[in-house]
A and B are shown apart, each in its own frame.
Chain A
């Protein structure tokens, strides 16, 4: 697009972001401060993710943007269009075709492979923030690996609800060292982060932090010995594609209590349907 640099940000800014990313990759899970810029969308809409994407995107990349698993929601559509206009790179909705995936709140169901990059949008990067309001103190706690307080929160969950009720943004320990917030993904997605072949980058625009999980890094969700980490489960399968092991959204159909459960990952659901899988409310698609 005329009048704009490739990927909107100027080269010096992108360089600064790349330096922060390199540092983040070198220290898995450590929050690297960076000079977050004003972006042409409000804080909370993915300014951090966009800046990271702008920092790493190249002419040959194929970009996919998802929001809550879907490719066709407002946030996903507008960010995808933003990069299509400012870089001219190819965009896609297929997880397999993409080299760069920016995401809000989900990890694609289809396992990612080496060479792919997953960029998360992060609202609040500091896992200890609600327990310790002072930034100076939380930094010290990270430095000295004083993470007992995080278990106090999980203890509170069990004492109140009989189980660990935290269901999203579930705290993890990266590479046996840093406590990290995985951004508000459901805890269903936590196991996918462990030993993932793809590079995972996290950008928090308002909080001005970048952190990363390099490929094949150990990511462990916190738990108690007698209350092990568990992921969500559903009684139903996806109504459209019949999937038994994907993260399901509940969709209210009418005011008579009618509802259906469908995959939140739209690409996963559609590719399963075109492969001939049908759920109870789906329609058979022509195989060829």
Chain B
């Protein structure tokens, strides 16, 4: 009998910048369809961890093992660079905090969505455009804006466009770094609603970094709390937020303003 394997398995991951510690001793498994939230204050190593997981930077020690579609479980840092880059633009998505970092601002929204398709060999203009249209609808952007450059879009639209651009190749794993940062509350709510719908419908696995516990509660199934580069507590979201064990988590939870 086949035992199910985790999609992403992280073992004793650590990254130090010289004597300065980025993050250390991080281990966890991410299962297909699961949303993992990483919370913690600024400077706690969230983004360093995220960058290691998504192969943006190389960790100092530890392994990141990904269950690839073709060859099963492989350490992403043992892969050749071309394999890793192919993985990153097909099976993975990376949604950045600032949509202007993740989008190509000089070209139209349609080209932004179609870029990954063309990168993996799509060569039929009509098909690419239809897919782009579909995705704009899915992320609730007016299809009439398909030929407008994203620089003419509002912040919320840019963020949704960035999500569409990442999901177009139907990735299995998406990394999100503060996807709701810099958006006002009503736009945040719509984006979260959309994200939750997409995650459920597509069965995505997501690693989401946030300092906003409300976002974490809404999206994440499981939560990891980081402090000074270490994971101080992890567990089911409701459990961590409603019954925090570690002193830092208690502080974090109690700092939320109660309306």
Contact = CB atoms under 8 A, between A and B. Distances in A.
B111 A144 contact: no
Given A144-B82, A144-B85, A151 B118 contact: yes
A226 B147 contact: no
Interface string B119-155: 1110111101100000000000000001100000000
Contact of B85 (A146, A156, A159): A146
Contacts of A144: 81-82, 85
Task: Give the contact-size bracket for chain A.
Answer: 10 to 19
Contacts of A224: 123-125
A146 B111 contact: no
B125 A226 contact: yes
Contacts of B85: 144, 146
Contact of A152 (B104, B123, B126): B104
Contact of B115 (A149, A159, A160, A225): A149
B118 A152 contact: yes
A156 B119 CA distance: 15
A147 to B, nearest CB: 8
Interface in B32-47: none
Given A144-B82, A146-B85, A146-B119, A152 B124 contact: no
Given A158-B125, A224-B123, A227-B125, A152 B81 contact: no
A148 interface: yes
B114 interface: yes
B236 interface: no
B93 interface: no
A160 B107 CA distance: 10
Given A144-B85, A146-B85, A159-B147, A226 B115 contact: no
Task: Give the contact-size bracket for chain B.
Answer: 20 to 34
A288 B76 CA distance: 76
The secondary-structure label for the interface of chain A is: helix
Contacts of B126: 226
B171 interface: no
B119 A155 contact: no
B125 A156 contact: no
Contacts of B51: none
A160 B108 CA distance: 9
Contacts of B111: 152, 155-156, 159
B156 interface: no
A158 B119 CA distance: 17
Nearest to A223: B123
Contacts of A149: 115, 118-119
Interface in A204-238: 223-227
Contacts of A158: 125
Nearest to B81: A144
B110 interface: yes
Interface in A133-180: 140, 144, 146, 148-149, 151-153, 155-156, 158-160
Nearest to B116: A148
B112 to A, nearest CB: 8
Interface of A: 140, 144, 146, 148-149, 151-153, 155-156, 158-160, 223-227
Q: Which 4 A-B pairs have the closest CB atoms?
A: A148-B119, A151-B118, A148-B118, A224-B125
Given A151-B118, A158-B125, A227-B125, 19 more contacts: A148-B115, A148-B116, A148-B119, A148-B120, A149-B115, A152-B104, A152-B115, A152-B118, A155-B107, A155-B111, A155-B114, A156-B107, A159-B146, A223-B123, A224-B123, A224-B124, A224-B125, A226-B125, A226-B126
30 contacts: A144-B81, A146-B119, A148-B115, A148-B116, A148-B121, A149-B118, A151-B118, A151-B123, A152-B104, A152-B107, A152-B114, A152-B118, A153-B107, A155-B110, A155-B111, A155-B118, A155-B125, A156-B107, A159-B110, A160-B108, A160-B147, A223-B123, A224-B123, A224-B124, A224-B125, A225-B123, A226-B124, A226-B125, A226-B126, A227-B125
